[in-house]
Every structure is written in structure tokens, then in C-alpha cells.
């Protein structure tokens, strides 16, 4: 995303809000239950969604193109490292290591 970090945060947050709105208000048209990968906590496995079959049979899922190193700053590295510390520490959930 070729935006300043403060603008990129706003764009990502807006996308999340729109996604959540569509999932709750128009789920049958936007993302039927079987479309998205689901976690089966009892079996400790991920049940793959139908989007995976659609991706392989059409050109709707194009491969990502490497953008190269944009030289992230120290602040970005510190944010990444703080997320890593949280999600592998106090913020971890009991099943996260079985889902990798």
C-alpha cells in the first residue's frame, strides 16, 4: 500500500469494518458459511473453505507479486516485535500452536 502509515491504518480499519458489516448483514451473499476456512477446536484442525477450490479453477485468485524491500523504519520493526511478543506470550490462545 503506497500510503503514509497513518492513512494505511485508516484504510485497513475501514476494510475491517466493511468486512464485519457485510458478514453480519449480508452473509449469504457476501460470504456463505462454507466459503471461509473454519477452525474445529474439538479436532484441532482447520476445515478448508470452498474458496480454495474456486481459486484453483479460475483466475480470481492471482499470485502476489513481490514488491521488494521498502526500507521499513525502526518504528515498524518495534510494532511488529511488540505484536509478536504479545501473541506468543500473554495474548496467546490455547489452540494456536496446533493450528499452524
- Provide the pLDDT confidence category of residue 7 given band limits of 50, 70 and 90: very high
Query: Per residue in 17-72, pLDDT tens?
Result: 998 888 788 766 777 778 888 888 888 888 888 888 766 655 556 677 776 666 66
Give the pLDDT of residue 26: 75
Average pLDDT, integer, range 9-24: 90
Q: Using the structure block, give the residue that is written with the C-alpha cell 511488540.
A: 82
Rounded Cα gap, residues 76 and 9, in angstroms: 12
Give the pLDDT of residue 62: 67
Give the pLDDT of residue 92: 87
More confident residue, 61 or 10: 10
Rounded Cα gap, residues 75 and 63, in angstroms: 29
Amino acid at each position: 500500500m503506497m500510503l503514509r502509515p497513518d492513512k494505511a491504518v485508516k484504510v485497513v480499519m475501514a476494510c475491517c469494518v466493511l468486512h464485519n458489516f457485510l458478514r453480519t448483514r449480508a452473509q449469504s451473499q457476501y460470504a456463505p458459511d462454507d466459503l471461509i476456512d473454519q477452525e474445529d477446536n474439538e479436532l484441532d484442525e482447520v476445515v478448508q473453505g470452498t474458496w480454495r477450490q474456486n481459486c484453483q479453477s479460475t483466475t480470481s485468485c492471482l499470485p502476489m507479486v513481490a514488491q521488494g524491500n521498502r526500507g521499513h523504519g525502526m518504528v515498524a520493526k518495534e510494532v511488529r516485535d511488540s505484536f509478536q511478543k504479545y501473541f506468543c506470550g500473554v495474548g496467546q490462545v490455547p489452540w494456536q500452536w496446533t493450528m499452524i
